[in-house]
Amino acid sequence: MVDLTQLMEDEVFMAFASYTTIILSKMMFMSPATAFYRLTRKVFANPEDCASFGKGENAKKYLRVDDRVERVRRAHLNDLENIVPFLGIGLLYSLSGPDLSTAVLHFRLFVGARIYHTISYLLPLPQPNRALAFFVGYGVTLSMAYRLLKTRLYL
């Protein structure tokens, strides 16, 4: 039987595992953030969620759309749209034998950029803060994709 713990002794793979776990945990934080704004602002999407605030017609006034809640939800969706490619491409890139310091630079830049993206989105900071954060993360993923396709293409 192959000793799987050996995979975890590969430094690039361990670095990928650490940074991925951090950025996915950050993304998960968006769910309680949405719930926080929904509860404090009493803005709900489902009738059963605001049943404790009133019955029937009285509860319907809580079924509305709120700017603040939508902002968190857009940040969450943007995370999904960018972290999913990082997850797939980054995993394959980590297994393709890249240079350790280059790989770690990629992972650090991506995680830093996505955290800054969330801060820019939620405060919000004026543009082009969020746009820059987006493009750094985007560029990192494209750079890993480029290396993969250049060295390991098999169609």
Instruction: Provide the binding-site residues for a copy of itself, judged by CB under 8 A.
Output: 1-15, 17-22, 24-25, 27-28, 30-31, 45-46, 48-49, 51-52, 70-71, 74, 76-77, 80-85, 87-89, 91-92, 95-97, 121, 124-127, 130, 134, 138, 141-142, 145, 148-149, 152-155
Give the sign of the dihedral formed by CA 75, CA 135, CA 142, CA 140. Answer: negative
Alpha-carbon span 143 to 145, nearest angstrom: 5
Q: Which long-range contacts (CB under 8 A, 24 or more apart) does 22-29 make?
A: 22/111, 23/83, 23/86, 23/110, 23/111, 23/114, 23/115, 24/83, 24/87, 26/79, 26/111, 26/114, 26/115, 26/118, 27/76, 27/79, 27/80, 27/83
**Least CB distance from residue 102 to a copy of itself, whole Å?**
15
- Give the residue with the Cβ less far from a copy of itself, 39 or 41: 39
Of the pair 27, 41, the CB lying nearest a copy of itself is at 27
Task: Please state the closest distance from residue 32 (CB atom) to a copy of itself, in A.
Answer: 8
Q: Which is nearer to a copy of itself, 41 or 149 (CB)?
A: 149
State in angstroms the smallest separation of the CB of 57 from a copy of itself. 16
Residue type, 124: P
Three-state DSSP at 98 gives coil
Task: Name the residue nearer to a copy of itself (CB basis): 41 or 73.
Answer: 73
Provide the minimum distance between the beta carbon of 154 and a copy of itself in the complex, in angstroms, as a whole number: 4
